[in-house]
Structure 1
């Protein structure tokens, strides 16, 4: 048993998930979806400014009830527009995906961490330094995003619930009557 534990610790360390900082409960985000909880291990060592902003917004409850406004089969599910995407307070379906938060935009923190199934990246406009509150979860590998978008974390539990998020039908993945993040908290809950 001890050998299995050592091997697991080694593999996690090699994968970049074994540092004491990454194992802190504060470096996880739990998103409650309609089908169950999704746990994301945040990567403050990779994107410290982006992770800090996500944690601040989650701590204030800003992500609660925010729509998955853009969901593309085989690609990703995008959410996090706290300005126009809050389905309980001021939801504007036609504008969801165009807003951010009251916090400032963040300069890009590109890294060599690849976009794979379960990777969480920051959404932005064409300006690489325009990420604010929106993020996306990958359904599949997306190597074309590598080095172009900031990686902030990876789903470590509940990917089966991400797979059940309602897909968009519009040309850009726009979702009619979208699913939402019911509650988002810092930590593994």
Structure 2
């Protein structure tokens, strides 16, 4: 190729680049598509239907913790009526007073509500049927612990320290922390912890009413566990931080 031809080719390449022919192709704007209409069942649904109900005294669980303050939980009987009723009954009986958080995994959850303190105990009341619902296991969600059998929740519950949506549909969510999550974060970690944090007192009552946290010694001892009519199941617990497997049928 002669010097003159090389010069002509270089000049033509420069011209093409300047006109954009050799430039990287850009996607052309596409015509906007119309959004799909909502199902008829949702079109007439007011916005309020998607919001949690107002916080009421009868559905407010107050946990005064040994970590220094009160945790306020909004219970959701509209999502899990039988499981919520159980927790309310036990709180009114003083069952939870003085019980430890026996299994606390940093970045996952804090589990308590066992009078034995090792994950195998429960209340004298019968086990509950699962009420799996659409509440997600986000930070602050409160859910019922159980064994490998879906219908084995009794008294134990756990509070999510971080989101884990792998638990959704496998554990019965009963409410969410609306105040005092900083006291949950201070719960001693471990399985079990060397010095477990405790529920000093559990009460139902008007939301956000401050009260002094009594010393543990001043609180009545938790009711002892009554042997079940059937052999006790394996430790009632939530799974490790990996998404939960489908419970056995």
1:42 Cα deviation after fit: 0.2
1:15 Cα deviation after fit: 2.8
Unaligned runs of 5+ in 2: 1-45, 210-249
Is 1:52 the counterpart of 2:116? The answer is no
Larger radius of gyration: 2
Rounded Cα–Cα distance in structure 1 between residues aligned with 2:47 and 2:187: 30
Is 1:159 the counterpart of 2:177? The answer is no
Rounded Cα–Cα distance in structure 1 between residues aligned with 2:147 and 2:204: 26
Correspondence for 2:222: none
Normalised TM-score (structure 1): 0.81
Is 1:27 the counterpart of 2:59? The answer is yes
Rounded Cα–Cα distance in structure 1 between residues aligned with 2:106 and 2:131: 27
Corresponding pairs, count: 161
The structure whose residues are more often strand, as a share, is 1
The 1:104/1:37 distance shift into structure 2, 3 A limit, reads same
Task: Find the residue that maps to 1:109 and give its secondary structure.
Answer: coil
Correspondence for 1:37: 70
Rounded Cα–Cα distance in structure 2 between residues aligned with 1:12 and 1:70: 37
1:17 Cα deviation after fit: 3.0
Rounded Cα–Cα distance in structure 1 between residues aligned with 2:123 and 2:100: 14
Rounded Cα–Cα distance in structure 1 between residues aligned with 2:51 and 2:140: 14
Rounded Cα–Cα distance in structure 1 between residues aligned with 2:97 and 2:87: 12
Rounded Cα–Cα distance in structure 1 between residues aligned with 2:204 and 2:83: 14
Structure 1 stretches of 4+ with a deviation exceeding 4 A read 10-13
Correspondence for 2:102: 69
CA RMSD of aligned residues (A): 1.5
Correspondence for 1:185: 203
1:177 Cα deviation after fit: 2.0
Is 1:126 the counterpart of 2:162? The answer is no
**Structure with bigger RCO (C-alpha 8 Å, 6+ apart):** 1
Correspondence for 2:4: none
1:11 Cα deviation after fit: 8.2
Normalised TM-score (structure 2): 0.62
Rounded Cα–Cα distance in structure 1 between residues aligned with 2:200 and 2:47: 33
Rounded Cα–Cα distance in structure 1 between residues aligned with 2:79 and 2:50: 15
